[in-house]
């Protein structure tokens, strides 16, 4: 079992920055990938960014050039630096860890951290 705890959410004005952090209860070096997702009320959860254990990254088109995902295997954390935040970035942000054991995938999610951007 893996526990993920997000932190760093809050209220910020448009154009501002926030840094989200996801702390894992186990070594993330063994995780296949970790990612950040977001979900607005009444909408589906969507991918924001993910990073594989080989440090390959992908981003949603809406955040490219503004958000950066990074990992620190020594601290077992994955961070999401969010710059130039806009009101449409207002969401609950969730951390996800994907662990594949042999061929079976295991999905773990954090409880979420709320981000609100005022115009």
5 pLDDT above the threshold of 90? yes
Encoding tokens for residue 44? 């589906």
Q: What is the pLDDT of residue 94?
A: 98
Q: H-helix or E-strand containing 100?
A: strand 91-101
Q: What is the pLDDT of residue 41?
A: 85
Q: Is residue 107 a contact partner of residue 101, using CB atoms and an 8 Å limit? A: no
Q: How far is CA 90 from CA 9, 31, 43, in A?
A: 10, 28, 12
Q: What is the pLDDT of residue 67?
A: 98
For residue 112, give the 3-state DSSP assignment: coil
Question: How many residues does the structure list for the chain?
Answer: 119
Phi, psi of 92 (to 5 degrees): -95, 130
Q: What is the pLDDT of residue 1?
A: 87
Residue 54 CA to residue 72 CA, distance in Å, equals 12
- Tens of pLDDT, residues 90-108: 999 999 999 998 899 999 9
22 pLDDT above the threshold of 90? yes
Residue 67 CA to residue 26 CA, distance in Å, equals 25
What letter would DSSP give residue 78? E
4 pLDDT above the threshold of 90? yes
Encoding tokens for residue 78? 């994955």
For residue 8, give the 3-state DSSP assignment: coil
- Tens of pLDDT, residues 40-93: 888 999 999 999 999 999 999 999 999 999 999 999 999 999 999 999 999 999
């Amino acid at each position: 079992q893996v526990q993920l705890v997000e932190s760093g959410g809050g209220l910020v004005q448009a154009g501002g920055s926030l840094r989200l952090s996801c702390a894992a209860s186990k070594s993330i070096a063994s995780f296949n990938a970790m990612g950040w997702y977001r979900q607005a009320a009444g909408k589906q959860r969507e991918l924001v960014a993910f990073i594989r254990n080989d440090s390959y990254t992908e981003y949603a088109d809406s955040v490219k050039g503004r958000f950066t995902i990074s990992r620190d295997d020594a601290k077992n954390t994955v961070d999401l630096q969010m710059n130039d935040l806009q009101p449409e970035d207002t969401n609950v942000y969730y951390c996800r860890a994907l662990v594949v054991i042999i061929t079976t995938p295991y999905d773990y999610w954090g409880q979420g951290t709320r981000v609100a951007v005022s115009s």
